[in-house]
Copies of this chain bind each other. A is one copy, B any other.
Amino acid sequence: VSIGRDPIEAAVENWRRAGWSEASRGMAAVTSVMRAQQLMLQRVDEVLKPFKLTFARYEVLMLLRFSRTGALPAGKVGERLQVHPASVTNALNRLEDDGFVARVANPRDGRSVLAEITPAGRQVAADASAVVNAKVFEQLPLGDDELDALFDVLRNLRAGWGDIGDGLP
């Protein structure tokens, strides 16, 4: 088997030669995650394209689909998805244009806007999920143990960076 064909392994070599051995593990981990994200996003977006969805919009749609009432304040959406309010506005605009979501006034707070999934939204959410599950999530070239290990390590990373709330108000 060949060595040095992997750009990331090549980078590790460079780091070591530069005397940065201490940081090479972290560099490799970070670079690997960056590249894996790029590949995963490409695959998901490609599969979602026929549905006029992107991963960003798909996530919003699924969040609403799994909510109790099918509607959530825009702010809540950004909070759950850990994304900037401006990104939510953008996603809702496009989802609304395609009739997958409707903006509804929040009866409890005039400042707030509720994003409500429409019947068409529920339909596309179901159809898109079937394909994403079958073509991407169930087709990752990794074993169950590897998938679990990946999740566990990244959960530790997120926890270590305070990204996971401890549930204590």
A residues in contact (CB < 8 Å) with B? 1-8, 11, 14, 18, 20, 22-30, 32-41, 43-44, 55, 62, 66, 80-82, 129, 132-134, 136-142, 144, 146-151, 153-161, 163-168
Chain A contact residues, majority secondary structure: helix
Query: What is the CB-to-nearest-CB distance from A19 to chain B, in angstroms, rounded to a whole number?
Result: 10
Copies of this subunit: 2
CB pairs A–B below 8 angstroms (14 shown): A2-B165, A6-B155, A26-B138, A26-B147, A27-B133, A27-B137, A30-B137, A33-B36, A35-B163, A36-B37, A36-B157, A39-B158, A150-B150, A150-B154
Query: What is the CB-to-nearest-CB distance from A112 to chain B, in angstroms, rounded to a whole number?
Result: 20
In this complex, what residue of B is CB-closest to A42?
B161
Complex Cα distance, B11 from A35, in Å, reads 23
In this complex, what residue of B is CB-closest to A137?
B26
Query: What is the CB-to-nearest-CB distance from A56 to chain B, in angstroms, rounded to a whole number?
Result: 10
Give every chain B residue within 8 A of A159 (Cβ-Cβ): 141
